[in-house]
A and B are shown apart, each in its own frame.
Chain A
Amino acid sequence: MSLKAFQRALVDLTLAPKSFRALRRGESALLDRYDLNERERKRLLEISRQPGMAMNCSLARGNRLELLVAAFPMTCTLLKPMLPRLLDELWEEYQPDNYQLFGEEDAFAAFIARKIDQGELTVEYLSEIFAYELVCRDLAIRLETNTGAEAALEAIVEFEHPPDQLLAPLSELLPPPRGLPSGAFLARVRLSESGFDVDFCPV
């Protein structure tokens, strides 16, 4: 049981930097819930004091973040100043349960949608850009699982601000200009092997 407990504790500490920092500060009671032998307990206490443990946590976070940035690059750009805090909150309640890290993007999407619905995220343009990226992600999944038939991978997305002025800077991971005029706008998004193609259509 002991080695299993050691590994479980190490995984938990890697996924929860707060816990490992508490351990580093000397809160060794954190380890009481694991059935560790004396050597394993000493090892966890020792590595919590090594700078490499912070590195492990950062690399694990980086691997998770990489998936989110790949799926929601523009949403992450808009959220940039508050993203670390939001991810802390999300990852406090959600741990990966598979080696392929499937579910990370869905958990993030559900979390952001909930925050937007509850009015906890009032970042300019966030709702429409997030909705646009959800559509893009759906198209990307369809392309990924496309069995070869030339499916029509396209969708119409509604915007509340001029999509050309939003998407151009965001595609470079730069924030769009503030205070763009609001209205009703449509864009047709197509996805092929060569990437996304967006047309701005009249309403």
Chain B
Amino acid sequence: MKGDASQVRVGALFNPSLHRMVERLTPVLDYLAVIPDRVWRDRGRNSPGRFQPVPRQLGWLEQAASELPIVLHSIGMSICSAEIFDEEFARNLMEWAARLNSPWISEHLSFSRAGSGHEVNAAFNLPVPYDLEMLDLLVPRVRFFTDSLACPFLLENSVYYVRYPDQDLTEEEFLNRLCARSGCGVLLDLHNLYTNSVNHGLSAADYVDNLRLENVAEIHLAGGSRMMGFHTDSHRGPVLEGVWELLEYTVPRARNLRGVTFEFHESSFDMMGESGFREQMDRTRAILRKFRESQKAVSDVAQSIPAGPC
């Protein structure tokens, strides 16, 4: 079954470098992805009035929400932490999704938080081994979201710089099973995939082939940079050519795709400029349009063939 690219929207991950331009950029954006964890100050688990909105950040969010739909892309849930399932955090995230009428929300398939009483944070999202044990741990947690949310809940494939030996499943199998058992969708970060393929000599095309693409509801695009002999997911600059190629490869088969989001680090906005930003949006739309037109051509040909006897 082929996808319907006419339903696919184009957005960007909000960062402070965009806040003065949201109104001006509205014509090139269909939605904004926002990291909600930056809108509140978290006083810690079990604290009264735990999530305190930060007025300045909230002001930016409300301004953006008055212009565009907002999807929430959380980074602090640490849903894969074996020791912590932060229900307060999850509820707060869902309340924000309801308040903003978000078309979907997402988190990362990774962990940073450890410790039961006194928490310790890795200051970096770490990958999890794709084991059945982790799958069993995650399914009820994801269902906590999917059972309550009025919109889809997505998990993003991780970037990883180390590879765990002897895993039960590949990442694609893990995501396929997780979606089947929990009802979540996939946020397919093509730059993460590109990064892993470059750093570990993996085939990104095989990954896309093995992933059940009907579960992919959002795609992330980004740029990266070199560091310590690795390609890193730094979100520096424009989308890389290899990532555009992956987008062209993936879109035609991702039939439930709803959005393609460009992520960039605010420090690279000066390098890219507003025109560079618009170019990323335009190229994304051009790829979606190309697919839409090829879809229409196939449909037209199919309709022009006279029905014969069976």
Contact = CB atoms under 8 A, between A and B. Distances in A.
A15 B120 contact: yes
A122 interface: no
A11 B119 CA distance: 11
Interface of B: 37, 41-42, 44, 54-57, 59, 75-76, 78, 81-83, 111-116, 118-124, 126, 129, 133-134, 137, 160-166, 199, 227-230, 232
Contacts of A53: 161-162
Interface in A37-71: 39, 42-43, 46-47, 50-56, 58-61, 63-64
Contacts, number: 128
Contacts of B120: 8, 11-12, 15, 95-97
B134 A3 contact: yes
Contacts of A12: 120
Nearest to A61: B123
Contact of B126 (A14, A43, A51): A14
B82 A56 contact: no
B119 A60 contact: no
B162 A47 contact: yes
A42 B82 CA distance: 19
A95 B115 CA distance: 12
A52 B56 contact: no
B161 A99 contact: no
Interface in A93-113: 95-102
Contacts of A188: none
B41 A143 contact: no
Contacts of B54: 144-145
A4 B55 contact: no
A4 B80 CA distance: 10
B164 A43 contact: yes
29 contacts: A3-B82, A8-B83, A8-B115, A8-B120, A11-B112, A12-B120, A14-B124, A15-B120, A46-B164, A47-B163, A50-B162, A51-B230, A52-B162, A55-B230, A56-B162, A58-B227, A59-B161, A63-B124, A95-B121, A96-B120, A98-B44, A98-B121, A99-B113, A99-B121, A102-B42, A144-B54, A144-B55, A146-B56, A148-B55
A63 B122 CA distance: 10
A14 B122 contact: yes
A42 B166 contact: yes
- Residue picked from B113, B160, B161, B232, most chain A C-beta under 10 Å: B161
Interface string A23-35: 0000000000000
A98 B40 CA distance: 13
Contacts of A101: 121, 123
Contacts of A43: 129, 164-166
Interface in A10-25: 10-12, 14-15
B41 A3 contact: no
A8 B161 CA distance: 18
Contacts of B59: 148
B229 to A, nearest CB: 7
A147 interface: yes
Contacts of A165: none
Contacts of B41: 100, 102
A7 interface: yes
Contacts of A97: 118-121
Contact of A56 (B83, B115, B126): B126
Contacts of A7: 81-83, 111, 114, 126
